[in-house]
A = this chain, B = another copy of it.
Amino acid sequence: MTLQSQIKYCRNCGTAVAYRVPDDGDVRERAVCPACNTIHYENPLNVVGTVPFLDDKVLLCKRNIEPRWGKWTLPAGFMELGETTAQGAARETDEEAGAQIEMQSLFTVLSVPRVGQVHMFYLARLLSDKFAPGHETIEARLFTEAEIPWDEIAFRTVKETLEQYFADRRAGSFGVHNIDIA
């Protein structure tokens, strides 16, 4: 999950920008170009993914990239322009796990204000237990709740989503959960 560097130069004309509150009624500092007046907005990013499940098991991917190399995650990545949240979640599941899935409903929406991200996970029924992980994944495998490597989960949002998944599964009913990660 690459974080972008701070803005030093104007995207429109290449002049060095200054961080200040624009004159248009805004109340926040933005990178403003002193030459062409372009205001550069920086906003939260969406990470979209799935909870791929088969019977009593969930698919996790062992990360082959930083950050959290070698830790386990649900398939997820940055949402791209031109796609819906569900399309992005399906794309990431294909790229990271090579898993055949039937997309189901939105399951968690998690805000992570500390890093300026919103994570969204969809339930996804696995149609096969054969996976073809891409270059970002060392290994993709199924885990029962008891087998989940809880101390080796890459991200808080993934841990919260997995905990909620097994809780809802025990309760026999899946909701949509909106969670804030302090």
Contact = CB atoms under 8 A, between A and B. Distances in A.
A46 B118 contact: yes
A31 to B, nearest CB: 8
Interface stretch (A12-20, A52-60, A137-145, A146-154): A12-20
Looking at chain A's contact residues, the main secondary structure is loop
Interface of A: 2, 4-16, 25, 28, 38-46, 78-87, 105-106, 109, 111, 113, 116, 118, 120, 135-136, 175-176, 178, 180
Given A5-B12, A25-B135, A81-B113, 11 more contacts: A2-B39, A4-B11, A9-B12, A43-B79, A44-B81, A82-B113, A82-B116, A83-B113, A85-B111, A109-B109, A176-B178
